[in-house]
């Protein structure tokens, strides 16, 4: 935006009732020192551009409206409490998203009769200086200062070769008048002629009043990649322009390279430079740097195609505030290796043909620098990637804890995975070195370009077990998809027999902000006949994750005002009941919102929807499931269904399936999904539909990529619902054991400590390991109140089976299931018998080793044998199910109706009794243990199957007088 006849000024606005703060004549170096009174400590700064043209005056007819400039430029607030620049804490405790942290707007006002200073009262307009007020995004970040700012300035001033570059004064709009980050002058200084001393030090807000003939205001209002593509930005030429500016004054390389003697003078030596981060930051560190250096210095490789031998000289460099030393360091290297972050931007300063190797953690593969490199068709730097997905190599130590002041602690949580410290696997680094050596042997940069043109991998994944596989190049895949699209609609990949029961198959669709856009013109109003839009409203229930509901996830405030409002958006029946004045009384109101469909139109919001390129390599499976926030139902209704449809059916398309979960109102995917369901759908990380369909950087710029770099338009798509809660034909045991096999090689030792009485230990008895499952104390419902007594009785338990004479004893332990699935599996598989109150945690019993027994403990009136039903439906299940129903109400500690953790939904007393805490009678458990021991003595699982075939009881009732009787087999 170009302005004429303007002045700039700053105004200090007092936030108190006291006198306004005064503007000092000279800004001290320490801003805090110029607060002259307590009243001034709450001052805020307001940036102002004064429009001196009288046409902006209220007396002017017509009156010109004042300009507006509110750039959506993001920034990280530079808190003083930590050294990690990526720590964002919000301005308030309630702020949890990045979007609100934007640079404050520029304020405009008309000139007036009460101008505060002489120069504004009698302005003289400077025509020799052209201020360029610049509001960049992430201005505190070195990488974005190069990519968002220096590259844009280079493109606008030097590639365009404008005549006014020598009178341009770059003025940076910093948030709240904070100091200009120190890297700006050395990094962006070569592109501009002059900068006001005050602006250079303190940002635009610290400029004194200056009358100016004309001015340019520029805001990088869009994120980095989008801005770059819109302006055809070239990051490598900008970086090389900086190199040429400093070339005559560059020092010798400060890096000390070392290598092990190769013994072969004909080897081509590659200089490998490892980039480290400041130890003050303490995140994204390479924890095994010494090992990497030692392995690197001994590296040798012979290219099989050319027989050229390679060796390495290796060094380390930590980029700092001295830009010239950093440039000298990176230009001395052939290969630069480091954790993804701003420091890796220095790779654009490397000499022609050199390579940067970005090392990513699991769940964070933002290939920003590859995108920047690829936007310049003449770029002479190579980009390679290594993603480490082996969780063993990550270090969840003190710096990864949520409460640590150095840890990224604002939405989204996947940045916490990005910031984890890591043991970088040498095998992965060596693989990339070999690939680079092969490129060098084949001709260097031309060979790299040919490799990219062939869509050969330049990014690799190091997974558990030491396997490394190639990432498909995203831009090459898009180009290939574009070619297929130009040739007509792709052939269907799925036949009608391939489509699972309960699924709907769609063709030529895009996704956008939780909507499915049908791109086929037959859905258009102009089509005759017009195809009706699909509909998808599965009757899936969910629990709304209320903040104020306490620790019991089964709380339903079904008759509250908030719930009524929520229902207005969930189902017609609920809307009707509210409209008729009825009180909401049943759970059915909390149904998942339907999936929305629309036809494509002329006003598509983003280029990727305006010119769709349909990805035929990825098959999204949009999945709607019941009780998705509940561990048991996520296993039984979702993981088991997916296992049956993908693995038991042995479909050919499992390795191109991307699981996308339809979450209510775009909420985050529950954390349990990736570890629990991820092994069954391994091709891509599981995403919520909101994330998968989000409008991201590339979507706005036409590249066609949504969340996690995936396209948003697809040749075909499945929309599926998981099975109902009590659906027959489930194979929960098979699904659970499939998950166990997936994690088997990385399972820890059992975390459970088993104990038994010393007098109970004898070589002649068979010791059964008994594991009591407890619930989190935060939940405060369905607890076993006498757990210590149960443990003591259990450790002393002895039994002789009357049929075989086999003697049994017990080793007993306790485990509280948590978010670490592998620890839960290890704990459960260490037990012979698992005992706990009925609830989601008992679903872990399906992970038990063959012949293991789960014992569910019920309260009176609640005997829902869901897990027995799931077990019985799977003909390959090797699990025993037993139950103890405690009908003696004197053993209950009923929670009163007002208790914040009590169930207060529509099913009333039944579920309130279910949720009561209980003193579990040892007499009842003793009988169950004796029955399980008898089965073990008679042959184990075959004996249990025979018992069930004879309809002998596996459910026992503990009555009010302490009597124990046979209980019913309920349900299926």
- Name which of 154, 85, 74 is nearest 341 in CA terms: 85
Closest CA to 790 of 820, 755, 760, 822: 755
**Assigned token pair, 315:** 């060094």
Residue 349 has pLDDT above 60, yes or no: yes
pLDDT band at 425 (very low <50, low <70, confident <90, very high): very high
φ, ψ dihedrals at 711, nearest 5°: -65, 160
Asked if pLDDT for residue 764 goes beyond 90, the answer is: no
| CB-based contacts of 716, cutoff 8 Å, min separation 6 | 490, 492, 493, 494, 505, 506, 507, 508, 509, 616, 619
- What does the alpha-carbon distance between residue 823 and residue 452 come to, in Å, rounded to a whole number? 42
Task: Tell me if 880 sits within 8 A of 947, measured CB to CB.
Answer: no
Measure CA 123 to chain center.
Answer: 53
* Res. 232 pLDDT band, cuts 50 70 90: very low
How far is residue 933's CA from residue 943's CA, in Å, rounded to a whole number? 11
Measure the CA–CA gap between 285 and 316, rounded to whole angstroms. 13
Which tokens is 385 given?
Answer: 């990637």
> Per residue, what are the HEC states of 205-245?
HHCCCEEEEEEEEEECCCCHHHHHHHCCCCHHHHHHHHHHH
Q: CA geometry: angle at 706 spanning 704 and 708, to 5°? A: 125
Q: Which of 24-38, 571-585, 933-947 is the least confident region?
A: 24-38
Confidence of residue 93 (pLDDT cuts 50, 70, 90): very low
The answer on pLDDT for 372 being more than 70 is yes
Average pLDDT over residues 175-185: 72
For the cut 90, the answer to whether the pLDDT of residue 943 exceeds it is yes
pLDDT recorded at residue 211: 43
As given in the structure block, the two tokens for residue 2 are 């170009």
Of 573 and 936, the structure prediction assigns the larger pLDDT to: 936
Helix (H) or strand (E) holding 578: helix 572-579
- Rank 284-288, 603-607, 883-887 by mean pLDDT and report only the highest: 883-887
Residue 723 in contact with residue 641, Cβ under 8 Å?
yes
Closest CA to 147 of 247, 220, 70: 220
- DSSP for residue 879: -
pLDDT above 90 coverage of the chain, percent: 36
Q: pLDDT category, 913, cuts 50, 70, 90? A: confident
> Cα separation of 608 and 703, whole Å?
6
Helix H or strand E encompassing 965: strand 964-966
Residues 880, 885, 886, 889: what is their CA dihedral angle, to the nearest 10 degrees?
160
Q: By C-alpha distance, which of 57, 198, 36, 61 is closest to 115?
A: 57
- Strands 2-13 and 44-51, how do they pair? antiparallel
Highest-confidence range of 130-144, 270-284, 589-603, 834-848, by mean pLDDT? Answer: 834-848
Which pLDDT belongs to residue 190? Answer: 78
76: helix, strand or coil: coil
Q: pLDDT at residue 763 above 70?
A: no
pLDDT at 236 over 60: yes
Nearest to 683 by CA among 704, 710, 648: 710
- The one-character DSSP state at 711 is B
What pLDDT is attached to residue 179? 67
Map tokens 């130009």 to a residue: 486
What mean pLDDT is predicted for residues 773-780?
A: 82
Instruction: Supply the pTM of this predicted model.
Output: 0.53
| CA distances from residue 238 to 186, 233, 349 in whole angstroms, order as listed | 13, 9, 9
Query: Can you read off the two tokens belonging to residue 256?
Result: 């000390």
From the list 441, 445, 391, the residue with the least C-alpha distance to 421 is: 391
Residue 921 has pLDDT above 50, yes or no: yes
Alpha-carbon distance of 569 to 591, in angstroms, equals: 10
Least trusted range by pLDDT, from 191-205, 658-672, 706-720:
191-205
Count the Cβ atoms, other than its own, within 10 Å of residue 156. Answer: 18
Distance CA 12, CA 15 (A): 10
Burial of residue 498, with CB atoms counted within 10 A of its CB: 0-12 exposed, 13-18 middle, 19 or more buried? middle
Q: Is the peptide bond before 62 cis (omega within 30 degrees of 0)?
A: yes
Which of the residue ranges 144-153, 227-236, 453-462 would you say has the lowest mean pLDDT?
A: 227-236
For residue 406, pLDDT over 70 is answered with no
Average pLDDT score over residue span 602-629:
87
CB 680 within 8 A of CB 582: no
> Cβ neighbours of residue 8 under 8 Å, at least 6 residues apart?
48, 49, 50, 131, 204, 207, 209, 210, 212, 215
For residue 177 the two structure tokens come to 């008048």
Find the mean pLDDT for residues 448-462.
88
The model's confidence at residue 77, banded by pLDDT at 50, 70 and 90, is low
Three-state secondary structure call for residue 414:
helix
Chain centroid, CA 673 distance in Å: 12
Decide: 764 and 807 in contact? Cβ < 8 Å: yes
- Burial (Cβ within 10 Å: 0-12, 13-18, ≥19) of residue 962: exposed
638-668 pLDDT tens trace: 999 999 999 998 888 998 999 999 988 777 8
* Percent of the chain with pLDDT strictly greater than 70: 71
Which residue, chain included where needed, has tokens 């008048």? 177
Q: In what order do the strands lie in the sheet with 309-317?
A: 300-302, 309-317, 268-275, 335-339, 355-361, 382-388, 459-462, 468-471
**Torsions phi, psi for 175 (to 5 deg):** -70, 130
The whole-number pLDDT of residue 256 equals 94
Handedness of CA 800, 804, 806, 810 (dihedral sign): negative
SS3 for 153? helix
pLDDT at position 416? 66
Q: How many CB atoms lie within 10 A of CB 172?
A: 23
Q: How confident is the model at residue 97 (pLDDT cuts 50, 70, 90)?
A: very low
Return the closest-CA partner of residue 767 out of 949, 933, 596, 935.
933
Confirm if 310 and 303 have CB atoms less than 8 A apart.
yes
Tell me phi and psi for residue 329, to 5 degrees: -65, -50
Q: Kindly report which listed range (54-63, 504-513, 670-679, 871-880) carries the lowest average pLDDT score.
A: 54-63
Helix (H) or strand (E) holding 360: strand 355-361
Between 136-145, 288-297, 316-325, 337-346, the lowest mean confidence (pLDDT) is in 136-145
What contacts 972, CB < 8 A, 6 or more positions away?
Answer: 726, 728, 869, 872, 873
Could you tell me how many helices (H) and strands (E) the chain has, helices first?
Answer: 29, 33
Partners of residue 303 on adjacent β-strands: none
Q: Kindly tell me if the per-residue pLDDT of 353 is higher than 90.
A: yes
Lowest-confidence pick of 18-27, 61-70, 485-494, 960-969: 18-27
- pLDDT value of position 541: 78
Instruction: Give the residue with greater pLDDT, 413 vs 445.
Output: 445
Question: To which residue do tokens 């953790």 refer?
Answer: 901
Closest-CA residue to 282 (of 420, 78, 142):
420
For 230-244, 601-615, 861-875, 889-903, which range has the lowest pLDDT when averaged over its residues? Answer: 889-903
The model's confidence at residue 469, banded by pLDDT at 50, 70 and 90, is low
| Mean pLDDT, the chain, integer | 76
Q: Give the pLDDT score at 404.
A: 55
pLDDT band at 707 (very low <50, low <70, confident <90, very high): low
- Cβ atoms of 669 and 686 within 8 Å: the answer is yes
**What's the pLDDT band for 384 if we cut at 50, 70, 90?**
very high
| Coil, helix or strand at residue 705 | strand
Euclidean distance between CA atoms 370 and 357, whole angstroms = 10
**Highest mean pLDDT pick, 27-41, 252-266, 438-452:** 438-452
Q: Rounded distance, CA 396 to CA 398, Å?
A: 7
Q: What is the pLDDT of residue 50?
A: 77
pLDDT, average across residues 350-376:
86
Closest of 883, 885, 880, 884 to residue 936, by C-alpha: 880
Tell me if residue 370 falls in helix, strand or coil: helix
């Amino acid at each position: 935006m170009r302005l004429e006849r303007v002045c700039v000024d700053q105004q200090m606005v007092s936030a108190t009732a006291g006198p306004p703060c005064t503007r000092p004549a000279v800004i001290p170096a320490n801003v805090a020192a110029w607060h002259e009174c307590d009243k001034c400590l709450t001052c805020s700064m307001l940036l102002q551009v004064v429009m001196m043209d009288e046409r902006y005056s209220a007396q002017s007819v017509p009156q010109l409206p004042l300009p507006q400039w509110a750039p959506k430029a993001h920034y990280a607030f530079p808190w003083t409490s930590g050294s990690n620049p990526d720590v964002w804490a919000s301005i308030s405790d309630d702020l949890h998203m990045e979007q609100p942290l934007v640079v404050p707007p520029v304020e405009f006002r008309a000139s007036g009769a009460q101008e505060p200073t002489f120069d504004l009262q009698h302005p003289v307009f400077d025509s020799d200086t052209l201020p360029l007020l610049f509001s960049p995004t992430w201005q505190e970040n070195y990488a974005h200062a190069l990519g968002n700012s220096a590259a844009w300035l280079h493109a606008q001033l030097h590639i365009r070769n404008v005549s006014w570059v020598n009178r341009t004064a770059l003025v940076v709009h910093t948030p709240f008048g904070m100091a200009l980050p120190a890297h700006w002058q050395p990094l962006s200084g070569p592109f501009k002629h002059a900068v006001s001393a005050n602006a250079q030090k303190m940002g635009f807000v610290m400029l004194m009043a200056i009358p100016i003939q004309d001015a340019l205001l520029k805001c990088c209002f869009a994120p980095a990649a989008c801005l770059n593509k819109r302006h055809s930005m070239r990051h490598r030429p900008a970086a090389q322009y900086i190199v040429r500016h400093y070339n005559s004054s560059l020092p010798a390389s400060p890096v000390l390279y070392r290598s092990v003697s190769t013994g072969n003078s004909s080897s081509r030596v590659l200089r490998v430079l490892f980039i480290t981060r400041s130890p003050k930051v303490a995140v994204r560190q390479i924890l095994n740097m010494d090992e990497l250096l030692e392995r690197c210095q001994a590296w040798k490789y012979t290219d099989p195609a050319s027989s050229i031998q390679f060796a390495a000289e290796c060094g380390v460099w930590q980029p700092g505030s001295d830009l010239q030393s950093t440039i000298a360091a990176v230009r001395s290297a052939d290969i630069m290796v480091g954790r993804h972050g701003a420091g890796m931007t220095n790779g654009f300063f490397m000499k022609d043909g050199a390579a940067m190797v970005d090392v990513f953690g699991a769940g964070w593969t933002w290939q920003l620098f590859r995108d920047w490199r690829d936007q310049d068709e003449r770029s002479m730097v190579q980009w390679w990637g290594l993603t480490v997905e082996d969780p063993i190599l990550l270090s969840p130590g003190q710096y990864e804890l949520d409460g640590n002041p150095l840890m990224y602690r604002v939405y989204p949580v996947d940045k916490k995975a990005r910031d984890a410290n890591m043991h970088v696997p040498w095998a992965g680094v060596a693989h990339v070195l070999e690939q680079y050596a092969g490129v060098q042997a084949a001709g260097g940069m031309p060979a790299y370009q040919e490799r990219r043109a062939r869509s050969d991998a330049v990014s690799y994944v190091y997974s558990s077990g030491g396997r490394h596989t190639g990432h498909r190049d995203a831009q090459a895949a898009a180009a290939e998809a574009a070619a297929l699209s130009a040739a007509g609609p792709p052939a269907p990949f799925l036949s009608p027999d391939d489509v699972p029961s309960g699924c709907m198959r769609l063709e030529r669709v895009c996704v956008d902000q939780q909507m499915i856009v049908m791109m086929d013109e037959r859905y258009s109003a102009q089509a005759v006949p017009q195809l009706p839009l699909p509909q998808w409203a599965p009757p899936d229930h969910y629990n709304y994750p209320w903040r104020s509901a306490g620790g019991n996830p089964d709380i339903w405030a079904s008759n509250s005002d908030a719930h009524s409002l929520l229902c207005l958006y969930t189902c017609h029946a609920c809307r009707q009941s509210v409209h008729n004045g009825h009180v909401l009384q049943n759970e059915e109101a909390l149904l998942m919102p339907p999936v929305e469909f629309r036809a494509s139109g002329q006003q598509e919001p983003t280029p990727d929807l305006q010119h769709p390129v349909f990805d035929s390599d990825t098959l999204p499976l949009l999945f709607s499931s019941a009780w998705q926030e509940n561990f048991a139902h996520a296993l039984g209704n979702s993981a088991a269904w997916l296992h049956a449809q993908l693995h038991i059916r042995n479909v050919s398309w499992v390795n191109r399936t991307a699981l996308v979960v339809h979450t209510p109102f775009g909420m985050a995917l529950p954390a349990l999904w990736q570890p629990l369901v991820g092994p069954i759908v391994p091709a891509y990380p599981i995403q919520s539909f909101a994330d998968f369909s989000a409008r991201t950087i590339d979507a706005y710029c036409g590249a066609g990529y949504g969340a996690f770099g995936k396209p948003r338009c697809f040749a075909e798509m499945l929309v599926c619902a998981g099975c109902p809660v009590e659906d027959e034909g489930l194979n929960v045991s098979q699904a659970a054991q499939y998950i166990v096999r997936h994690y088997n090689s990385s399972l820890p030792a059992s975390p459970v400590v088993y104990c038994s009485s010393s007098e109970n230990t004898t070589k002649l008895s068979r010791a059964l390991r008994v594991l009591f499952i407890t619930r989190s104390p935060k939940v405060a419902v369905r607890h076993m109140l006498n757990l210590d007594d149960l443990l003591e009785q259990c450790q002393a338990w002895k039994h002789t089976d009357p049929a075989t004479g086999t003697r049994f004893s017990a080793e007993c332990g306790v485990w509280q299931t948590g978010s670490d699935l592998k620890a839960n599996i290890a704990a459960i598989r260490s037990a012979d018998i698992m005992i706990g109150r009925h609830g989601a945690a008992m679903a872990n019993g399906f992970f038990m080793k063959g012949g293991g027994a789960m014992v569910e403990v019920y309260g009176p009136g609640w005997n829902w044998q869901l897990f027995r039903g799931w077990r019985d439906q799977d003909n390959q299940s090797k699990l025993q199910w037993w139950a103890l129903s405690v009908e003696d109400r004197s053993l209950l500690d009923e929670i009163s109706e007002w208790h914040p953790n009590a169930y207060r939904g529509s099913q009333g007393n039944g579920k309130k009794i279910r949720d009561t805490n209980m003193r579990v009678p040892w007499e009842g458990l003793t009988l169950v243990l004796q029955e399980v021991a008898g089965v073990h003595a008679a042959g184990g699982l075959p004996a249990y199957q025979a018992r069930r075939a004879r309809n002998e009881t596996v459910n026992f009732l503990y009555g009010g007088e302490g009597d124990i009787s046979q209980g019913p087999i309920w349900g299926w």
